[in-house]
Amino acid sequence: MFTGVPMFRVLTVEREYGSGGSAIARIVAETLGWRLLDRALVTAVARTARVDAATVSQYDERIDSWWHRFHRDGLRAAAIHGGVQLADAEVFDTETVATITRAAISDAHDSGDCVIVGRGAQCILQGHDDVFHVFIYGPWSERVSRIRSRTEPTGNIGKSIRCTDDERASYIRTCYGCDWKDPHLYNMMISSHIGIEDAAWMIVEGVLRGGPVPLSSAKLA
């Protein structure tokens, strides 16, 4: 665990599906001695909403269908017209999850010393000088191999990767009006092709020193 004084106090990690981004974020958090907020964010949202984590996971980094949004908005409008308080007419859905997640990420930033994975944190905390933003991508063949190694061999892995990436991009575009892969959202965009541990070390160095450094000098003593 690192015991020095980092240049930043929060790291956000966005990632392509199968890029190894979550594993890299875990190594970085362990190295810095920071909290890792990945599945922990799902748990926090579930606790706030008073639902189980499995329910939150259904809406995590996803956008509701057009029909769901239409039905939800119609229900709320009818409730207001009928004199029912809006809070009583709330429907648990993607919008609700995004709202609670946004608050949880802001609270995490206030506390500092944390690595936040996905969920639009790079947009929510954009403009904060004490936050380092990273996007992790990887070669297609490695992403397919990585997903295949941790899931059942049945099913179209390529389709699953494309769909998950599309869902994450749509979530960022719909909730925050940003392009998921816009380089201007990030301080560093790095390929996991260099290796999970080497990518993690480069990110750690970015957090500690305020920017990317050559891989040859990225390993801490």
Amino acid at 189: M
Domain positions in the chain:
10-63+89-209
Tell me, what's the pLDDT at 21? 96
For the chain, 221 residues long, the average pLDDT of each consecutive 10-residue run is 72 96 96 92 79 73 51 47 45 75 92 94 94 97 92 81 93 92 95 96 90 50 38
CA distance 5 to 126: 22
- Position 221 scores a pLDDT of 38
Alpha-carbon separation of residue 212 from 135, 136, 141, 200 (angstroms): 13, 14, 26, 12
Distance of CA 89 to the CA centre of its chain: 29
One-letter identity of residue 135:
F
Q: How far is CA 139 from the centre of its chain?
A: 20
Q: What is the pTM of this model?
A: 0.79
pLDDT of residue 84: 44
Confidence at residue 27, expressed as pLDDT on a 0 to 100 scale: 97
Using an 8 Å Cβ cutoff, are 129 and 179 in contact? no
**CATH T-level fold of 10-63+89-209:** Rossmann fold (3.40.50)
Nearest one of 182, 214, 196 to 14, comparing CA atoms? 182
The pLDDT score that the predictor gives to residue 212 is 56
